[in-house]
Structure 1
C-alpha cells in the first residue's frame, strides 16, 4: 500500500520552490521593453538640432548686446538741416544739444523727434544716426497759407498754429472764422481768389461769422458783403456791377453790399476835406 502511494505521488510533480518575498520578473521586463521602444522612436537628431537652435537664439541677443556695448560711443555732434523761415537753425541746435554725450545706440530717436515736433513752426523732424558719434536732424517747417483770426497762422494743410513770431510769414491773406470751420474758409477763399484773379482783382481776405455770413476783402481795400445765402449768385452780381459801374471809381469805394436782390449798395469813402486857403 505504501508502494502504491509512492507511485501516485510521483504522478503529480510538486511545484518548483519559490523564494520568500520574491516577485515575478515578467512585468519589469515589459516595462523595460516599452521604455526601449519609446527611446528608439525618439528622433534624436532632430531633438539635438532643435536644442541647438534654441541655444543659439538665446545667445544671439546676448552676443549682439555685448558687441553693441563694445562699439557704443557718446553722441559728440548734431547736424541740423532744413530751410528756415519761422524757426531758426541755432534754436533747434540749442534744443538738441541736450542729447550730446548720450549713448549713440541707446538714445531713443523717437523721443527727439517728438520733442522737436512740439515747436510751433516744425511740421516734421527726421533724425538719423551717422556712425560713429553723430546725429543728423532734418527739419521741415510748416508753410503758412494765411493769417487766422489775427494772431495765428493757418498752414497749407489746414493746421492752425500760434508761433511767437507770426509776422515773419510776410504778406499773406487774412482769414477768420470759427476754428472748426477753418477748412471751409480755406476752400471758399481759394474759390473766390481764383475767380477774382480772372477779373484782374486781388484777394486780401475772407471772414466767416458764427451765423454763417461771408465777407470778402479785396486787395484794393474794398469790402464786399456776401451774406449767408446765395453766395455764388451775389458774388457774380458784385462782379457785374463792379465792372460795369465801379471799376473807374474803385479808389472811392469803401464797401459793397451784395445782399440785395436786384443790385448792390455802395458805401463811398468820405470825401477829402477841402484845404483852407492861405491867409
Structure 2
C-alpha cells in the first residue's frame, strides 16, 4: 500500500509539473497575439509598374483604408478599395512580420482607346478611364458600347491583315447603321460599308498590292463597297474606279 501511495504521489507531482509547464505558455500566447493584433502598421510597400495609374493614388486609398492593427486589419476590404481605381486589374496584399504590408498592383494594359472616355485592354475588356486624350498614340475605336466585343474582335483581325504590309490602323468607326470606316495611320480612310468587313479589306489589299502601293500621300479616300475593285478619290483630281488585275 505504501508503495502504491508513493507511486500515486509521484504521478500526481509529475502531472502537476506537466500542467504548469503547459499552462504558462498557453496563457501567455493570447496576450502576446492580442498585443501584436493591436500593434499599428508601421510601413506599407506598394510595388508595380505604374504607367497609367498614379502610385500616390494607391497610397492615399491605402492610408484612408487602414483602420486596425497589424493582425486585425481586414485585407480583403483594403484590396476591394484599391481595385475600385480605374486602371487597377489586380491587387495582392500580404502581411510581413512584424508590422508591414506588401501591396502588389497590376495595371490594365490598353491596346486601343474607346470613344473619348474608355480603353480596350489586351484581354478585350472595356474600362472607363475618363478623358483618354493622353493616349492619343493608341488607335481609336468608335461605336456603341454594347458592340465593343465585336468591334474589338474585327479590329484585331484587321490589324493582323495589315501588319504583313506594315500598315497600322489609326481609327475604326462603326455607326448606328453598322457601316464601317477604317482610317489608316498616316494615310487615308477606307469606307467598308455594311457587312463582310474582312472580305472587303482583303479585296482592298489586292488592289493596294497591285496598284496603290506607294501612292498613300496622293490618296484622299478609298471606297471598297463594290464587288470588283475600289473607288479611289485622289487629293488632286477626280475619283476613279480601280480594278485589280
> If the length of structure 1 is used for normalisation, what is the TM-score?
0.68
Q: Which residue of 1 aligns with 2:241?
A: none
Task: Supply the distance in 2 between the matched residues of 1:179 and 1:262 (Cα, whole angstroms).
Answer: 33
Q: In the TM superposition, what are the counterparts of 1:160-171 in structure 2 within 5 Å?
A: 160-164=126-130, 166-169=132-135, 171=137
Relative to structure 1, is the Cα distance of residues 243 and 81 closer, same or farther in structure 2, using a 3 angstrom cutoff? same
Offset at residue 67 of structure 1 (A): 4.6
Offset at residue 199 of structure 1 (A): 2.5
Task: Supply the distance in 2 between the matched residues of 1:249 and 1:98 (Cα, whole angstroms).
Answer: 58
Q: Which residue of 1 aligns with 2:114?
A: 148
Task: Supply the distance in 1 between the matched residues of 2:134 and 2:186 (Cα, whole angstroms).
Answer: 23
8 Å Cα contact 1:86/1:169 also seen in 2: no
Q: Give the structure with the higher percent strand.
A: 2
Structure 1 runs (4+) deviating above 4 angstroms are 62-67
Q: Which residue of 2 aligns with 1:69?
A: 34
Q: Which residue of 1 aligns with 2:11?
A: none
Q: Which residue of 1 aligns with 2:14?
A: none
Relative to structure 1, is the Cα distance of residues 252 and 96 closer, same or farther in structure 2, using a 3 angstrom cutoff? same
8 Å Cα contact 1:74/1:100 also seen in 2: no
Computing the radius of gyration over CA atoms, which structure comes out larger, 1 or 2? Answer: 1
Q: For the aligned residues, what is the CA RMSD?
A: 2.3
Offset at residue 231 of structure 1 (A): 2.4
Q: In the TM superposition, what are the counterparts of 1:110-125 in structure 2 within 5 Å?
A: 110-125=76-91
Task: Supply the distance in 1 between the matched residues of 2:168 and 2:181 (Cα, whole angstroms).
Answer: 15
Q: Which residue of 2 aligns with 1:90?
A: 56
Structure 1 gap ranges (5+): 1-59, 272-279
Number of residue pairs matched? 211
Identify which range, 240-249 or 164-173, moves more after superposition. 164-173
Q: In the TM superposition, what are the counterparts of 1:204-223 in structure 2 within 5 Å?
A: 204-223=170-189
Give the SS at the match of 2:34: helix
Say yes or no: does 1:269 pair with 2:235.
yes
Q: Which residue of 2 aligns with 1:80?
A: 46
Give the SS at the match of 2:200: helix
